[in-house]
Amino acid sequence: MTPALTLRERSETEASRLPPLLAHAEQLAGTVLLGDHGRRRAGLGDDFWQYRPAQHGDSRRLIDHRRSARGDQQFVREREWQIAQSVMLWVDQGASMRFASDKSVPQKQERARLLALAIAILLVRGGERVGLTGTRLPPRRGNAQIIRLAEAWTEDADADYEPPEHRAMIPYARAVFVSDFLGDLSEVETALTKAADRGVRGVLLQVLDPSEELFPYQGRTIFESVGGTVRHETLKAGELRGRYLERLAERKAKLQELCHVTGWQLGLHHTNDSAQSALLWLYRALDGGRR
């Protein structure tokens, strides 16, 4: 098989995922009634919001030269829509997210993408701009942006765990990170610290399979990572349960501490629970994080 044909088949496979994901996300978003979140407030648009010191990564065209001429420091003139209506999204594409303990529950990745796309739809309907963290897809409005997000989230990473993307954070915007957060937490700490330094507030949504919460294994069991990089066989899986649950609790406590220090919020969702309830929580958490 030629490389070109392989690429074409892969593209067709990825494209075939879009209609079901979009349809499901649209349906899920429709179950949440829009309240005050995203409503335009008096003065919203091009009205002046504030001056702030220019930071690394700011475009030169944003610098207000009249204000900057008063001293040695450069200042950016921000307008309300630039900081109040930008939400950056990151969804973990790592192999660990492709885990499902049973056919009756969706993969963590499937649920994470669904929730992220559904919240993006709600935000766009509320007049907000949405995009990806990093430089690939800056926040924009409109249905075309929703399609771009859906396309981006058809791509899988090879590594077991993918670190959060934290480049090009828009100052004073909001952000949503969706992952199982079972990888290196130092990467999460770096991302949240950088975000907090730029005034970015947001939400971490931890998505776990029910078996990862309960550890229901007994007897001879083979544990293998989805990416195939880790494999462990034991004859007494039940004896590992206590230590596993302790380490999971420590991880959750660390995530909660990071959120507390940086002003973010932490949510937990199990894939066997209602996607609607998770979306509603996420929607309200973002609303509560408005500056």
The model's pLDDT over 220-234, given as tens digits with 9 standing for 90+, comes to: 666 666 666 666 656
Domain count of the fold of the chain: 2
Q: Are 65 and 97 in the same domain?
A: no
Left, alpha or beta for 178 (phi > 0: left; psi -120 to 50: alpha)? beta
Q: Are 236 and 269 in the same domain?
A: yes
**Domain of residue 72, residue span:** 43-81
Question: Who contacts 105 (Cβ-Cβ below 8 Å, separation ≥6)?
Answer: 209, 210, 271, 272
Q: Are 49 and 130 in the same domain?
A: no
pLDDT tens-digit profile of 149-165? 999 998 888 888 999 99
- The amino acid present at 141, given as its one-letter code, is R
Look up residue 31 and give its two tokens: 């179950």
**CA–CA distance, 241 with 214 (Å, rounded to integer):** 8
| Partners of 140 in beta bridges | 130
Q: Are 76 and 154 in the same domain?
A: no
pLDDT (mean) for 272-291: 84
Contact 282/204 with Cβ under 8 angstroms? no
Look up residue 138 and give its two tokens: 């800056």
**CA–CA distance, 113 with 278 (Å, rounded to integer):** 12
| Diameter over CA atoms, the chain | 73
Q: Are 62 and 121 in the same domain?
A: no
Contact 83/171 with Cβ under 8 angstroms? yes
Q: Are 279 and 140 in the same domain?
A: yes
Q: Are 160 and 230 in the same domain?
A: yes
Q: Are 65 and 115 in the same domain?
A: no
Q: Are 231 and 101 in the same domain?
A: yes
Q: Is the pLDDT of residue 279 over 50?
A: yes
Residue at token pair 């950056």: 88
Q: Are 180 and 158 in the same domain?
A: yes
Residue 128: exposure state from Cβ atoms within 10 A (0-12, 13-18, ≥19): buried
Q: What is the pTM of this model?
A: 0.76
pLDDT (mean) for 284-288: 82
Contact 176/284 with Cβ under 8 angstroms? no
How would residue 236 be classed by pLDDT, with cut points 50, 70 and 90? low
